Amino acid sequence: MPDSLKTLVRSPQGVVGGGLCLLAIVLVVLGPWLAPFEPNALSFTARYQPPGPMHWFGTDQMGRDVLSRVMIGARDTIVMSLLATAIAMVLGAVIGTLSAYLGGWVDEAIMRTMDAIMAIPSLLFALLIVATLGKSDVNAVAAIAIAFTPGMVRVARSVALAVRTQDYVSAAIVRGESTSHIVVREMLPNIVAPVIVEGTVRVAFAVMLFATLSFLGLGAQPPSSEWGLMVSEARSHLFTAPWMMIMPGLCIALVAIGFNLLGDGLRDALNPRSRT
C-alpha cells in the first residue's frame, strides 16, 4: 500500500486529483467557518453584483453572496454524493462477492437481474425512485445508491471471480481454512482495492447526477444552496448575471474532475503492471 501511495503522489493525475479532492473535503468540513458572508443574508443594495474584490463570485438576484452559498452548498453536493456512492459500494461489494462465491445458477440469476437494472439509465432510474418516494435529498441519495449498485456488483464480482481462482485461495482450501477466513482474510483484502478505484470514479458521476436531479427540481429543495439547484435557480437570470450560474457549474466540474483524476491515478498506482 505505501508503495502505491508513493506512485500516486508521483503521477500528475494523482497530485491534481488528490489536491482537488482535498480542497473539496476542506470545503465540506470548514465551509461554514470559511464563508465570508451569511449565505442566506439578503441585501437589496447588492443585487446582481459581478465578481469583484468584495464578492469574489458576485451576488445573486437577492443580493446573497454566491461564494458563501457555494461554500455552504459543498456540504449538500459532496456529502450526499459520497454517501450515495459509499452505500452503492458496500451493497455492490457484498452482492458481487456473494454472487461470485455462490456461482452456478444463483450467480447467473443475480447477474442477469443486475444487467436488467442497468438497462434503465441511472438518471431515469433516479427519476423513477424520486417520483415514487417523493422529492427530497435523502430520496435522491437512495435513488443514486440503488442506480449505482449494479455497476459496483459487476466490478466486485469480476474481481472476486479472478481472486477466487488464485492459488492462495486454493492453498487455503487445501490447508482446511474456514470459509469465513478464506473470504475475509484471503479474498477481501485483494478485492477492496479495485472496488475503491471504481468507487472513486463513481463519486464524480454521483456529484453530477445529484446536481442534475436538483437541477430538475427533484433533489435538494430551496433554500438549500446545493450546486445543481443554484444553477437551476440562476437560469432565469442567465443573461443579466451569468456568474450566478457559471460559478456553481464550475465547482461541480472541478469536483468531478478531481474525483475522476484521483480514481484514474489510484487505478494506475494499484495496478501491479505499472509498478514493474
Residues forming contacts to another protein in the complex (CB under 8 A) are 112-113, 115-124, 127-134, 166-168, 170-171, 173-177, 185-186, 189-190, 204, 208, 211-212, 215-216, 218, 228, 231-232, 235, 238-239, 242, 245-246, 249, 252-254, 256-257, 260-261, 272
Question: Nearer to another protein by C-beta: 10 or 34?
Answer: 10
Nearest approach, Cβ of residue 39 and another protein (Å): 21
Nearest approach, Cβ of residue 134 and another protein (Å): 8
Nearest approach, Cβ of residue 14 and another protein (Å): 14
Question: Nearer to another protein by C-beta: 31 or 150?
Answer: 150
Nearest approach, Cβ of residue 218 and another protein (Å): 8
Question: Nearer to another protein by C-beta: 43 or 271?
Answer: 271
Nearest approach, Cβ of residue 206 and another protein (Å): 11
Question: Nearer to another protein by C-beta: 36 or 121?
Answer: 121
Question: Nearer to another protein by C-beta: 33 or 239?
Answer: 239
Question: Nearer to another protein by C-beta: 30 or 254?
Answer: 254
Residue 183 near residue 169 (C-beta atoms within 8 A): no
Nearest approach, Cβ of residue 238 and another protein (Å): 6
